[in-house]
Amino acid sequence: MSLLTALSDSLARGADRPMQRPAGLVYWLDTPSPLVPSFWLAMQHVAVQSVYFVLAAAPAAALSPDPAEATRFLCLSILAVALWQALQLLTRGPVGSGYPVPATHAPAMLGAYAAAGAAGVGFGGAAAMVLIAGIVASLLSFAMRRLRVLIPNEVAGVVVMLIGVSLILLGTQILGLQPGRTEPGPLAVVVLLASIAVMALVALSGTKLARLAVLVGAAFGVALAIALGEVPENAAAVVAASPWIALPQPWLPDFGDMQPAPLAAFLLALVAAKASAAGGFLMIQRAADAGWTRPDPPAVQRGLLANGLSIVAAGAIGAAAPGPATAAAGLSVATGTLARRIVWIGTVILVLAAFCPKIVALFVMAPAAVKAATLIYVSGFIVVQGAQLATVRLLDTRRSMVVALGMGAGITAAVAPAAFAAHVPALASPLALGAMIAFLANLATMPMVTQRAELRLSPADEMAGREASEWAAATARGWGLRPQSARQMERALVELTEVLAGRGVAEVTVAARRGEDRVELSLAWQGAPLPEASARPEAEDLLGDDTARDAFAVWLATREALSFGQRPAADRCEARLVLED
């Protein structure tokens, strides 16, 4: 019962940090955005998400050459994407981040699908392995309570930046710029550049259309491509052959068709998939909170649980594993439109699309140059978001190494994917390899994080406050603490030193210890403990007796701490203060 209580508490929404609306947002999370603009913003998301529909077509081609089965698989996968979005949007209960994160088909799983196809596994066998991977992902979400340690800002930043790199790579593949593909002609390049130019001009126009920049640019690109004859040759035939209405036909999981190597690939890909999901949540979390300084674990943990349950559902119906559509999330950030209503409308549109193969075919058969332009444009915003995440804290040598190794590995996979595809297909994408390396580098070097510093002070000395301030500032600089953490540490030490001076303490030993995500400050002295911090501090306390003034000063020193406690022993006392970094 205690375990269940602990798990319930870890997912409780009451543990979420209060969020502050940033200035400049058009629509915040709970903003009742107008219906018509919300519909078009949702359509813009769907337009970006439709570019990802090719991701579901890739594993379908690996598992079967039948176009009808590929269409069936894609419709089921869109339905799984809609379920993922709906679970994330929930604002009550233990499931769902509560963030408006659009979804797509998880790119981290592509290598695993390729391994399944190479092993002769069919749709039923792949569904069984996705189902098992989803169960494992759901269980792992309960082990993410120390998210700030396992996936700190630097690792999350690497993940988000490599998502952007992966999207650029996908855009170049769609356009035919990768080896072994048909190079685009001059007219296709014209469509690409014109689409990006229109997106940028509309975004900078300052008009109401600025929020719809990608949709306007994509529509312009499609019209230009039709005028220049840059549409797929079989587009009309494929669309005409697709029915308007059809119920998606699920594939039941076939556990007898599973193979060990592809199953291992799916499980290995979970690390990158979960890191990618966490990166998507953090992107929206950071953009939606003006007071954001680091990840808020409960919301992300609920989001990861919903992510795992969605993968279970996808496996149960034979669909591709869903995950966050970070390009669409980046679009929301770029346009300042973070209202949940927009993504709810998009969820309904996706459900309708899943039952309409003809609409799915229209999205899939869009000109390649327009798809590439959309990905390249949006990926730039994602890379910027990742860079901001990675540099929230000062980058010391260790943090710089984590970022460098992760980015280096990811870019290596981007420029030379053949070797990885041949030997470790689960790590054949920049995101999969880079996320894995950054995660392992952070984990392996974590024991090297701990740093200590000590100081002996004479509180009665008139220079004690200045000495404490200079020592705290120098220690914070040497450790690369965030400016806010450095100020909190300095303020707390100076305030407590002044209180001890007023109580006649002759000497105090100060010890500071830095961990991965916190700073522990301890003070030991000979004498009585400090009074408890004021529960309801008031200015009148400063005019009260010594105890009231000291209680007010203790409150000032500890009000921003994660915890504060004292431990009397014989005639000595030790106070311990924990600050977040």
Give 419-428 pLDDT, tens digit per residue.
Answer: 877 777 667 7
Q: pLDDT band at residue 84, thresholds of 50, 70 and 90?
A: very high
Strands 451-457 and 508-514: antiparallel
Q: What is the mean pLDDT of residues 458-467?
A: 85
In a domain, 424, yes or no: no
Same domain as 462, residue 362: no
Check residue 59 and give its pLDDT.
65
Give 365-378 pLDDT, tens digit per residue.
Answer: 778 888 888 878 87
Mean of per-residue pLDDT scores for the chain: 82
Give 127-145 pLDDT, tens digit per residue.
Answer: 999 999 999 989 888 876 5
Check residue 87 and give its pLDDT.
94
Q: What is the mean pLDDT of residues 61-70?
A: 71
What are the backbone angles phi and psi of residue 161, rounded to the nearest 5°? -60, -40
Check residue 504 and give its pLDDT.
85
In a domain, 404, yes or no: no
Residue with tokens 């407590």: 496
In a domain, 223, yes or no: yes
In a domain, 442, yes or no: no
Same domain as 353, residue 212: yes
Query: Which residue type sits at 225?
Result: A
Lookup: tokens for 569:
């022993």
Same domain as 256, residue 112: yes
CA distance to 127, 170, 386, per residue, from 57 (Å): 15, 13, 28
Same domain as 370, residue 472: no
CA distance 330 to 164: 10
Question: Total domain count for the chain?
Answer: 2
In a domain, 405, yes or no: no
Does residue 92 surpass a pLDDT of 90? no
Same domain as 217, residue 91: yes
Q: Which one has a higher pLDDT value, 217 or 364?
A: 217
**Domain span at residue 39?**
2-390
Same domain as 86, residue 9: yes
Give 160-216 pLDDT, tens digit per residue.
Answer: 788 778 778 777 877 888 776 778 889 989 999 999 999 899 888 888 777 677 778
- Give the H or E element holding residue 38: helix 35-63
- Among 390, 413, 441, the domain boundary falls at 390
CA 559 to centroid of chain Cα atoms: 29
Give 252-263 pLDDT, tens digit per residue.
Answer: 898 888 887 678
Same domain as 524, residue 376: no
- Among 358, 390, 422, the domain boundary falls at 390
Check residue 1 and give its pLDDT.
45
Same domain as 459, residue 325: no
Lookup: tokens for 456:
């002996």
Among 16-20, 53-57, 163-167, 545-549, which is the least confidently predicted range?
53-57
Same domain as 333, residue 215: yes
Query: Which residue type sits at 510?
Result: V
The answer to whether 521 touches 566, Cβ cutoff 8 Å, is no
What are the backbone angles phi and psi of residue 454, rounded to the nearest 5°? -135, 155
Give whichever of 210-214, 360-364, 500-504 has the largest mean pLDDT: 500-504
Give 219-277 pLDDT, tens digit per residue.
Answer: 899 889 988 888 877 777 777 777 888 888 898 898 888 887 678 778 767 766 777 78
Does residue 338 surpass a pLDDT of 70? yes
Does residue 112 surpass a pLDDT of 80? no
In a domain, 539, yes or no: yes
Q: Which one has a higher pLDDT value, 542 or 215?
A: 215
Q: What is the mean pLDDT of residues 525-536?
A: 80
Check residue 155 and give its pLDDT.
83
In a domain, 477, yes or no: yes
Same domain as 456, residue 323: no
- Among 359, 374, 390, the domain boundary falls at 390
Share of the chain above pLDDT 70, in %: 88
The answer to whether 301 touches 254, Cβ cutoff 8 Å, is no
Q: Which one has a higher pLDDT value, 534 or 399?
A: 399
Check residue 114 and give its pLDDT.
67
Query: Which residue type sits at 401?
Result: M
Query: Which residue type sits at 92?
Result: R
Q: What's the distance, Cα to Cα, between the start and end of the chain in Å?
A: 33
In a domain, 251, yes or no: yes
The answer to whether 277 touches 321, Cβ cutoff 8 Å, is no
Does residue 61 surpass a pLDDT of 70? no
> Is this structure's pTM higher than 0.75?
no
Query: Which residue type sits at 376?
Result: I
Q: What is the mean pLDDT of residues 80-90?
A: 94
